A and B are shown apart, each in its own frame.
Chain A
Amino acid sequence: MGLKAKQVIIAVLSIAILVVLGFVVFTEKEHILVKRQVVVKSDSAGCVHCHGTEGHEGLPGKDPGIVAQWRASEHAVQGVGCMDCHGVPKAGEMPDEKNPRFVVKMAWDKNSGIKTMTLLKKNGKPVERPDIWNHEGAQIVTDVSPRTCARCHEKEAEEFFNSRHNSASQFIGSVDNFLGRFAEGPAAANSGCQQCHGSVVRVSKPAQDGNPPLYAPDTWPNTGIGRVNTDGSWGSCSACHSRHEFSAQVARRPESCGKCHMGPDHPQIEIFNESKHGIAFRKNLAHMNIDVPGGDWVLGKNYTQAPTCSTCHMGPVAPHGNHKGLELTHEVGARISWTLRPKVSIQPKGITGKDGKVILKGPAGRRADMQQVCTTCHSQAWVNNFYVQFDQAVALYNNKFGKPATAIYGFMKKEKILDSVPMNEKMDFLYFELWHHEGRRARHGASMMGPDYVQWHGFYELSQHFYTEFLPLAQELADKAGKGEQMKKFIEATLHGKGGKDWEKYHRWTKGLSKEQRKAMLNWERETYESRKK
């Protein structure tokens, strides 16, 4: 092969190499270093070192899972470390009533609905909480109260403070409480009721000689949402924002709410799962951007496919149509017009603070806010009609079952047909379940479009129990107590209601209906719905 031929080959190969290298140079995308950097401040470095996977002086880490969870959190990237939550500020570093070092007193005025938190003082001085202890040169506590979270998350803490969530443990004196503690037993209350509602955390043995304080085992561990902490405050942010990751994302998931909002007495998660909302959610979850950073998950902006619990009850809503949009709120009652919990449902009035600031809007305002969520996907006419359906379901429960049963039960207690002890007789349980179980299921089902809960788990059982068990048993017990005549009269009066209207609408059918009477009932139904009573 001649020189020239070789040179040509080399030239061709060089060009080919040039082309390939040129291709590489011009198509190479820059890989910008995105390093998720965990910031370990000097005051928390010791904690991370000893409790994390590195361990200390040859011994393996004490709680590597906790530290690993923290490392994965947004807190770790933002510079919030162990001491920021488990440490307590020194006296004077912040106002005493805000300082988690000192104990506060909570008060809840049931009339105005206003809750107050005041600094507890003994001999004019603030009182330190009982569980502070000295550990490796730092003063720390195990039970982190919402007042600590409030140091940074002020708005959320205040909204949570005003909501029914943080007072979930305050059902002392209620039938539920009596049922749990006495009819059942302490273990039932501690491992059952309190795990959702929250315990009153008690220190059984104070810190001594460098040993940590001991919490009473019937009160700790507990992340009930209304937990009464050792600093006197109410609530546990960890109930929804599981520690130590404290993610906003976990709280968006219906499962977080479903830990407590489930079961025969308030099957919200089951109703959601049954409803079209739940179906749409599960189908579309992967595309709903549910893991975007906290505060950024806005209905109408990042997602529209389906709502979750947090969407309707708390989440931010983008402006649409004539609506200005809604901000994220931790006041979970802010958009609920009815309370479906009690024996007879009411629309609670709003709460205004002593300074005139609106803490909770009135029912109309709350409903309008909720409708802002609905109208992101549904037309106003659609929403209006839905609320008529919902209101009528609640009215049906109230007027047909709730009020009469309550009146009759009250009569039995007053006339001493039943003794004064709660929950010790069959009738106690019968009445309890009427309003507390099937009565609630029917109402909740109507509120969140779970038809089976409205019907078979709800009104069906209501009518079956009311007519075939409650009323006959009431009469039987009255007869036994020698008050049969009074009971008969009372039941009749109750079922007739004012001017006998209730009898016509609700209870005449038990005696049979003629053709005209049936027609009248169907007409009444149409009138009720079309009169558009909001």
Chain B
Amino acid sequence: MPTREEHPFLRAIPIDIEGLYEKVDEPLPHSSKKWWWCWGGVVGLLFLVQAVTGLLLAFYYRAEPATAHQSIQYITENARYGWLIRSIHQWGATFMVVALFLHMLRVFVTGAYRDGRWTTWVAGVFLLGTTLGLAFTGYSLVYDQTSYWAVTVTGNILAQVPFIGGTLKKFFLAGDGINQATLSRMYALHAQVLPAALIVFGLLHLFFIRLLGMYLPGDEKDIQEERELTAKEGPYHFFPDHMLSELAVFLYIFLVILFLSMIFTAKMGAPADPTVTPAHIKPEWYFYPFYHLLKLVPGTVGVALMGIIGGALLFWPFLDRILFTKVDRALKWRFEVGILVGTVFLAFYLAWAYIEATGPGA
């Protein structure tokens, strides 16, 4: 713990640092010392990157169908470093989703949602939904052909939701079809509503982590080992130890984003043309599996399936408990069925994403 003796500059800050430190410094299991456990923090830091770059872009972006594309062209071609800031924002989005998926994978595999930690998990699922919403609304702001038709298609998918589909679509598009208000709606969502939601859910997520503590994975032997290690060396502190690990991973990812931004600078497609549907409309890569699903089954079935998957994800801690206590015990396997379910889901996700990525219009 940093003290005022060790770090004299802390004396200048008129806050009870020691008291604050005690409140926020989460004691972590020593087993989480690995970089594999850093992804959660990396997502948060990448969000910070998105917020800063997004804020800068907002100084030039115009959310009007007639001038949106132009304003982004201005950013990319005329404003100093505009190309870089936009590219960082675009690559940052990809990496934020990747980091999020890796974080989810870690949480899932280590069962960190167990022992009453379903609130943390639920906040996390909302964070997932919000992040994907941010990614989607963000791309719609470019107002090129992909943006326009992706919004059209999404509106139509929403319309397939049973009972409330039509209303959902109307809310989404601010009308029956894409109109002058749609872009403003996407912009308000992307720049105001969803970031605020992300912050709220993020704080909730952290609050619950701090309240409920970290889950100790593994069996009795692992837990015992952990207890002994903590007794001997003290806990593994979040500040500064794990924080620095997360910072290191984040800086590395940021460097990669910088290089990608300079080599594969963000481009723009042709401006949105309501009269011409391009031959191949594709959403962003993280939506590929759902896109593929909708090609295999009729719309309503697809939407219903996605609803079921969403529900399963949201209530996973409860499902997992049922599977673990009832099924695993009954089968007397040393293997958790939950992991099998997750693996199957992941396999389909990756397979369908691959098919879409290498298919026509890739």
Task: Check A530 for interface membership: any CB of B closer than 8 A.
Answer: no
Q: Mark B235-250, 1 if CB is under 8 A from A, else 0.
A: 0000011001101100
Within the complex, the shortest CB–CB distance from B198 to chain A, in Å, comes to 25
Residue from B79, B241, B248, B262 having most chain A Cβ neighbours under 10 A: B248
Report the bound CA distance from A343 to B262 in whole Å: 73
Q: Which of B150-158, B182-190, B252-260 contacts A (4 or more CB under 8 A)?
A: B252-260
Report the bound CA distance from A24 to B263 in whole Å: 12
Residue from B241, B245, B251 having most chain A Cβ neighbours under 10 A: B251
Within the complex, the shortest CB–CB distance from A18 to chain B, in Å, comes to 10
Report the bound CA distance from A31 to B248 in whole Å: 35
Across the interface, which residues of A come within 8 angstroms of B222, CB to CB?
A: none
Q: Mark B19-36, 1 if CB is under 8 A from A, else 0.
A: 000000000000001000
A1-B33, A24-B262, A28-B80 are contacts. A16–B244 as well, Cβ < 8 Å? no
Chain A residues packing against B (C-beta within 8 Å): 1, 3, 6-7, 9-10, 13-14, 16-17, 20-21, 24-25, 28, 30-31, 33
Report the bound CA distance from A335 to B80 in whole Å: 53
Instruction: Specify which of B81, B84, B248, B262 is in contact with A13 (CB 8 Å cutoff).
Output: B248
B34 to A, closest residue via Cβ: A1
Residue from B77, B240, B252 having most chain A Cβ neighbours under 10 A: B252
Across the interface, which residues of A come within 8 angstroms of B78, CB to CB?
A: 31, 33
Within the complex, the shortest CB–CB distance from B233 to chain A, in Å, comes to 12
B259 to A, closest residue via Cβ: A20
A6-B248, A31-B78 are contacts. A21–B258 as well, Cβ < 8 Å? yes
Across the interface, which residues of A come within 8 angstroms of B240, CB to CB?
A: 3
Report the bound CA distance from A31 to B79 in whole Å: 7
Contact A24 B81 (CB under 8 A): yes
Report the bound CA distance from A134 to B261 in whole Å: 60
Across the interface, which residues of B come within 8 angstroms of A6, CB to CB?
A: 241, 244-245, 248
Contact B244 A10 (CB under 8 A): yes
Contact A13 B252 (CB under 8 A): yes
Contact B251 A3 (CB under 8 A): no
Contact B258 A20 (CB under 8 A): yes
A29 to B, closest residue via Cβ: B80
Chain B residues packing against A (C-beta within 8 Å): 33, 77-81, 84, 240-241, 244-245, 247-248, 251-252, 254-255, 258-259, 262
Instruction: Specify which of A1, A13, A24 is in contact with B251 (CB 8 Å cutoff).
Output: A13
B240 to A, closest residue via Cβ: A3
Q: 8 A-B pairs, CB-CB below 8 angstroms?
A: A1-B245, A3-B240, A7-B244, A13-B251, A14-B251, A16-B255, A30-B80, A31-B77
Contact B244 A20 (CB under 8 A): no
Across the interface, which residues of B come within 8 angstroms of A24, CB to CB?
A: 81, 84, 262
Report the bound CA distance from A10 to B38 in whole Å: 14
Instruction: Specify which of A3, A13, A28, A31 is in contact with B255 (CB 8 Å cutoff).
Output: A13
Instruction: Specify which of B79, B81, B244, B262 is in contact with A3 (CB 8 Å cutoff).
Output: B244
Instruction: Specify which of B33, B79, B244, B251 is in contact with A17 (CB 8 Å cutoff).
Output: B251
Report the bound CA distance from A39 to B14 in whole Å: 61
Across the interface, which residues of B come within 8 angstroms of A28, CB to CB?
A: 80-81
Report the bound CA distance from A25 to B84 in whole Å: 10
Report the bound CA distance from A17 to B258 in whole Å: 8
Across the interface, which residues of A come within 8 angstroms of B244, CB to CB?
A: 3, 6-7, 10
A9 to B, closest residue via Cβ: B248
Within the complex, the shortest CB–CB distance from A7 to chain B, in Å, comes to 7
Across the interface, which residues of B come within 8 angstroms of A14, CB to CB?
A: 251
Report the bound CA distance from A31 to B244 in whole Å: 39
Within the complex, the shortest CB–CB distance from B113 to chain A, in Å, comes to 27
B253 to A, closest residue via Cβ: A13
Instruction: Specify which of A3, A17, A30, A31 is in contact with B254 (CB 8 Å cutoff).
Output: A17
Report the bound CA distance from A367 to B77 in whole Å: 53
B243 to A, closest residue via Cβ: A6
Contact B77 A10 (CB under 8 A): no
A32 to B, closest residue via Cβ: B78
Contact B255 A10 (CB under 8 A): no
Contact A3 B241 (CB under 8 A): yes
Across the interface, which residues of B come within 8 angstroms of A7, CB to CB?
A: 244
Across the interface, which residues of B come within 8 angstroms of A3, CB to CB?
A: 240-241, 244
Report the bound CA distance from A17 to B262 in whole Å: 13
Within the complex, the shortest CB–CB distance from B256 to chain A, in Å, comes to 11
Report the bound CA distance from A21 to B84 in whole Å: 10
Contact A10 B80 (CB under 8 A): no
Contact B259 A10 (CB under 8 A): no
Give me 4 other A-B pairs in contact (C-beta within 8 A), A14-B251, A20-B255 excluded. Answer: A6-B248, A17-B258, A24-B81, A25-B81
Across the interface, which residues of A come within 8 angstroms of B251, CB to CB?
A: 10, 13-14, 17
Report the bound CA distance from A28 to B254 in whole Å: 20
A10-B244, A10-B247 are contacts. A17–B255 as well, Cβ < 8 Å? yes
Report the bound CA distance from A249 to B33 in whole Å: 72
Across the interface, which residues of B come within 8 angstroms of A21, CB to CB?
A: 258
Across the interface, which residues of A come within 8 angstroms of B77, CB to CB?
A: 31
Across the interface, which residues of B come within 8 angstroms of A30, CB to CB?
A: 80
Within the complex, the shortest CB–CB distance from A8 to chain B, in Å, comes to 10
Report the bound CA distance from A28 to B77 in whole Å: 12
Report the bound CA distance from A242 to B80 in whole Å: 41
Report the bound CA distance from A24 to B79 in whole Å: 14
Across the interface, which residues of B come within 8 angstroms of A16, CB to CB?
A: 255
Report the bound CA distance from A3 to B244 in whole Å: 8
Across the interface, which residues of A come within 8 angstroms of B262, CB to CB?
A: 20, 24
Report the bound CA distance from A6 to B241 in whole Å: 8
For the complex of A and B, the 6 pairs showing the least CB-CB separation, nearest first, are A13-B251, A6-B244, A9-B248, A31-B78, A20-B258, A10-B248
Report the bound CA distance from A33 to B80 in whole Å: 11
Report the bound CA distance from A21 to B78 in whole Å: 19
Report the bound CA distance from A16 to B248 in whole Å: 12
Report the bound CA distance from A14 to B258 in whole Å: 12
Within the complex, the shortest CB–CB distance from A471 to chain B, in Å, comes to 72
Across the interface, which residues of A come within 8 angstroms of B259, CB to CB?
A: 20
Report the bound CA distance from A1 to B35 in whole Å: 10
Report the bound CA distance from A20 to B80 in whole Å: 16
Across the interface, which residues of B come within 8 angstroms of A20, CB to CB?
A: 255, 258-259, 262
